[in-house]
Amino acid sequence: MSFTSNYTDRINKLPPYLFVEIDRLKNQCLARGKDIIDLGIGDPDIPTASVIVEAMKFAVENPAYHRYPSTAGMISFRETAVKWFANCFGAKFDPAAEVVSLIGSKEGIGHIPMAFINPGDIALIPDPGYPVYRTGVLFAGGEPYVMPLLEKNNFLPDLSKIPEDVAQKAKLMFLNYPNNPTAAIATKQFFKTVVKFAKKYKIIVCHDAAYTEVCFDGYSAPSFLEAEGAKDVGIEFHSLSKTFCMTGWRVGFAIGNKDIIAGLAKVKSNMDSGVFQAIQEAAVIALTKGIDVADTIYKVFERRRNVFIAGLQKAGLKCRIPKATFYVWIRCPEGYKSADLSKFILEEASVVVTPGNGFGQCGEGFIRAALTVPEDRLCEAVQRIAKIL
């Protein structure tokens, strides 16, 4: 018996989740015995640091942590997150009211529209962008309005191009810098412009800051909350996934305006039961003792970036040299569409890359490669791609 006809309208509105479709194609190639080099999903291959793992081993034996956790998160975790944030960005927050733990930042991003979007409300989303911005809005019954991220604008949204009637109706704006998938960066001046726009139209800004620590060449990414007045209009989502190579651990936090945090926390208290406290204890160690180890991880990604970019240049493929994230946003050669090129590279070179249009219509003409395999495999991947092109 099939129940697909019972799917709700909100489910039927959703496109196939990008990475699920990539996995399907990849598994077909693996079934044919091909040696696949996977540059598709942003899932670092570097193991979580042993100091964090050992903290988890110790904490998991504490019977007090075997019970329901607080949805907001352990106060020790929130206090540590606030101290880490102050050390990185210089801004101070109240751990009791201005921080909430997350089961990974994806969970918080997906839930925030439920707190502030009524059916028919507009949310401003970047395109190309992380697919969860759109799906979270759709699940809440809202209407996503695309802010194009164009190369001529350094992949920053042009807020002046948003129609007045749209801005008046908008309730949320999602931003993400350093950016996935383009690897673009934003300046503090840009964030000041965002704050001014958000205050004018009473829009809540949700800044996805998952990659603020993964920086190269001495660059340090700013926080949105460093901009004057940012706490009046927004919150920021931080994840330990990329910062400490903890993607499978599912832990992060949101920080910022207390009313926005309270709205998100209210949704969470009705939808989930919080982060396993042993994981929060390990996260405390990550945000304190794991910082030095994390710096060595970013140097690994920087070396990988250099190797991969050099190979792309030899192959005649065009891209900007990223200052942050572990992604490379590659322009498709003339005559290729994003999806067609990605499929061609997978089938002929056995290399998984992500089609840019999977992140939105403005991603057409690009493919994304994740630097999540060792240097020798990156070299081999780019050699395979050069050979077939």
**What CATH number should be reported for the domain holding residue 209?**
3.40.640.10
Based on the fold, state whether residues 284 and 296 are members of the same structural domain. Answer: no
What pLDDT score does 32 carry? 85
3-state per-residue secondary structure call for 263-302: HHHHHHHHHCCCCCHHHHHHHHHHHHCCHHHHHHHHHHHH
Does the pLDDT of residue 376 top 90, yes or no? yes
Last residue of a domain, one of 290, 317, 337: 290
Report the number of distinct structural domains present in the chain: 2
Could you tell me if 135 and 108 are in contact, meaning their C-beta atoms sit under 8 angstroms apart? no
Based on the fold, state whether residues 357 and 281 are members of the same structural domain. Answer: no
Question: pTM of the prediction?
Answer: 0.95
Based on the fold, state whether residues 281 and 374 are members of the same structural domain. Answer: no
Confidence of residue 27 (pLDDT cuts 50, 70, 90): confident
What pLDDT score does 69 carry? 94
With tokens 């109706």, the residue in question is 169
Based on the fold, state whether residues 282 and 331 are members of the same structural domain. Answer: no
Instruction: Give the tens place of pLDDT for each residue, 325-374.
Output: 999 999 999 999 999 999 999 999 999 999 999 999 999 999 999 999 99
Task: Give phi and psi for 68, each to the nearest 5.
Answer: -60, 135
Based on the fold, state whether residues 11 and 121 are members of the same structural domain. Answer: no
What pLDDT score does 30 carry? 83
Based on the fold, state whether residues 176 and 317 are members of the same structural domain. Answer: no
> What is the mean predicted confidence (pLDDT) over 111-132?
97
Instruction: Give the tens place of pLDDT for each residue, 46-68.
Output: 999 999 999 999 999 999 999 99
Confidence of residue 389 (pLDDT cuts 50, 70, 90): confident
Does the pLDDT of residue 195 top 80, yes or no? yes
> Which residues are paired to 175 by β-bridges?
207
The percent of residues above 90 in pLDDT, for the chain, comes to 88
Based on the fold, state whether residues 243 and 115 are members of the same structural domain. Answer: yes
What pLDDT score does 31 carry? 86
Does the pLDDT of residue 28 top 90, yes or no? no
> What is the mean predicted confidence (pLDDT) over 242-267?
97
Instruction: Give the tens place of pLDDT for each residue, 281-331.
Output: 999 999 999 988 899 999 999 999 999 999 999 989 999 999 999 999 999
With tokens 């989303």, the residue in question is 125
Last residue of a domain, one of 261, 290, 319: 290
What pLDDT score does 287 carry? 98
With tokens 């291959």, the residue in question is 45
Average pLDDT, the chain: 95
Domain of 166, in residue numbers: 50-290
> What is the mean predicted confidence (pLDDT) over 154-167?
98
> What is the mean predicted confidence (pLDDT) over 100-110?
97
Based on the fold, state whether residues 242 and 321 are members of the same structural domain. Answer: no
Last residue of a domain, one of 246, 264, 290: 290
**Is the Cα dihedral 251, 257, 259, 260 positive or negative?**
negative
Does the pLDDT of residue 25 top 90, yes or no? no
Q: How many CB atoms lie within 10 A of CB 3?
A: 6
Length reported for the chain? 389
Dist. CA 143–CA 66, nearest whole Å: 40
Does the pLDDT of residue 18 top 70, yes or no? no
> What is the mean predicted confidence (pLDDT) over 261-275?
96
